[in-house]
Structure 1
């Protein structure tokens, strides 16, 4: 599947070892499937916000942690160490000289599945890898692997 129009990574030269740093040139990518996922995420958030259980406040704290992590790091990958799709995405970023901030959900004990539920509420995506670039959710393995990398 080709990437949506306007979705490219821009390869900028760096001063070290001829590596290139890839940054998003334009990250908004209108997509029916993404719009549908966001609508579902909004519906799930609305349903869960009516709950006042202690779990919902814990979920709120986790949600804020995810938002802060995504805002503070240029590239964030929520991953599982054994997942072949996660391995592929991490290898791709390594090949293009980008050091992503990786959170291995399977290394977090009981918080891993809870964090994955929070990610699903925020993104509408229930699978890993769950990738954010420049503070924006860009999808999983399929979405990242098919993004063209261009020289800027």
Structure 2
């Protein structure tokens, strides 16, 4: 089998071809789109749909659930149990004596990826950990660690009447 050509990316074989005759190379390779092109395509696809799908109300309920969770808990981390960056952020909060509300997306079954898409729509961040403090999205691991090192994390937590262990 020839290697992918420039501008092509390796794809997974589909689970079922629905009886359509497809050649093996067409199943294995597809043109890759730039990030800007994918965003433009996604935006135009959303704009062209005229009737709401049943999934849109489900997505709206998930969005409301995220907003409620973030509003009801001073520190929220959307995480994946196996992610080293998520582990680092959870460890940071444990070291400073703060008990965040942690939602492990990989333990939610089919809802996990859907919730991650809702988080991306709300925050612009597609990765985990996705950290919220005082109802405000602060970012991921790097952003949270930077806030800690600059002393801003302690200040944000203090504003919420959460004392940290500085030892």
TM-score normalised by length of structure 2:
0.61
> Which structure: larger Rg?
2
| Aligned alpha-carbon RMSD (Å) | 2.3
One of 144, 149, 152 as aligned partner of 2:151: 149
**Structure 2 residue ranges without an equivalent (≥5):** 1-38, 156-167
Which residue in the other structure is 2:19 paired with? Answer: none
Would you say 1:123 and 2:123 are equivalent positions?
Answer: yes
Residues 78-115 of structure 1: CA distance to partner in whole angstroms, max 9, x if unpaired?
00000000000000011111100000000000000000
**1:1-150 matches, cutoff 5 A:** 47=46, 52-147=52-147, 148-149=150-151
* C-alpha deviation, 1:50, in angstroms: 5.7
* TM superposition outliers: structure 1 runs of 4+ over 4 Å: 48-51
Residues 120-146 of structure 1: CA distance to partner in whole angstroms, max 9, x if unpaired?
000000000000000000000010011
* C-alpha deviation, 1:149, in angstroms: 2.5
SS in 2 for 1:146: helix
Closer/same/farther in 2, CA of residues 95 and 50 from structure 1, 3 Å limit: farther
The separation in 1 between residues aligned to 2:87 and 2:52, in whole angstroms, is 38
SS in 2 for 1:56: helix
The separation in 2 between residues aligned to 1:65 and 1:108, in whole angstroms, is 14
Q: Which has the higher contact order (CA 8 A, sep 6+)?
A: 1
The separation in 2 between residues aligned to 1:116 and 1:140, in whole angstroms, is 13
TM-score normalised by length of structure 1:
0.66
**Structure 1 residue ranges without an equivalent (≥5):** 1-39
